[in-house]
Amino acid sequence: MYFNPGSGKTATIQPMRNLILIPAVLLFIFSGSPKHSFEKQRLGIAYDFQKEPFVHSDSIPQSCITQSEAESILGQSARLSEKSSTMKETILQCKCTYTAISEDAKTRKTGKLYYMFEKYKDESSARKVFTDILTQNLRGASLDILQVTGCESFSHTDSLNFYLILARKGNKMLRFKVNRLTSKTSPDAMIKVAKSIISSL
């Protein structure tokens, strides 16, 4: 309550709850949705550009190779040490890594196999990336163009540390790379697995 000198009467101050609620409501409206909702919207925009809904990597058959395929390439037992999927602007990337269970007795190295599946917004975007990588690797001592029907692909190695295969079909691209080549690493098995996945695209 307060005293009004002009009237000689007291008056009651109205509760301030409604006045406090108004700024709170305005703050909610102008601050937008919570962060996680914004992230979904951002990802949704990227996928709308491709005319596709957001999908988990497990629903994409080519998102990772199987353990048996990885072991055939590494030439020994291996474990899945990493698996992830991300959306980078308009490029869907699915990655997985297999690591050999034990060190190769002959080379004293533990092999690692890296695999990546990428889907671009269109074929021209994928072709540009493939061409740029091919151009960069043309200086390499051992680069072979692989003859695979319906796609562009090549292999590259320094015969000591790594063996790489890159393949593109339409707007999709595959990357295989073994780091720390061992006496058991099988390039032939990698080519076989790559051709099998390419044929499924």
Q: Residue 118 in contact with residue 92, Cβ under 8 Å?
A: yes
Q: Render pLDDT for 70-102 as a digit per residue (tens, 0 to 9).
A: 999 999 999 999 999 998 888 999 999 999 999
pLDDT averaged over every residue in the chain: 76
pTM of the complete model beyond 0.75: no
CA neighbor of 154 nearest in space, from 120, 185, 131, 172: 131
Domain ranges of the chain: 57-200
Under the banding of pLDDT at 50, 70 and 90, the label for residue 124 is very high
Q: Please give the class, per CATH, of domain 57-200.
A: alpha beta
Determine what percent of the chain falls in helix, strand and coil, rounding each to the nearest 5.
35, 30, 35
Under the banding of pLDDT at 50, 70 and 90, the label for residue 200 is confident
Q: Render pLDDT for 37-49 as a digit per residue (tens, 0 to 9).
A: 323 333 333 333 3
Residue 61 tokens, joined: 């058959």
Residue 117 tokens, joined: 């599946």
Q: Render pLDDT for 182-197 as a digit per residue (tens, 0 to 9).
A: 999 999 999 999 999 9
CA–CA separation, 82 and 114 (whole Å) = 9
pLDDT > 50? residue 112: yes
Q: Which amino acid is at 123?
A: E
User: Per-residue pLDDT averaged across 111-120, rounded?
Assistant: 96
* Helix count and strand count (H, E) for the chain: 5, 9
CA–CA separation, 78 and 169 (whole Å) = 28
Q: Which amino acid is at 22?
A: I
| pLDDT for the residue 52 | 43
Cα three-residue angle 175-60-199, rounded to 5 degrees: 60
| pLDDT for the residue 53 | 41
CA neighbor of 117 nearest in space, from 63, 169, 159: 63
Q: Residue 105 in contact with residue 141, Cβ under 8 Å?
A: no
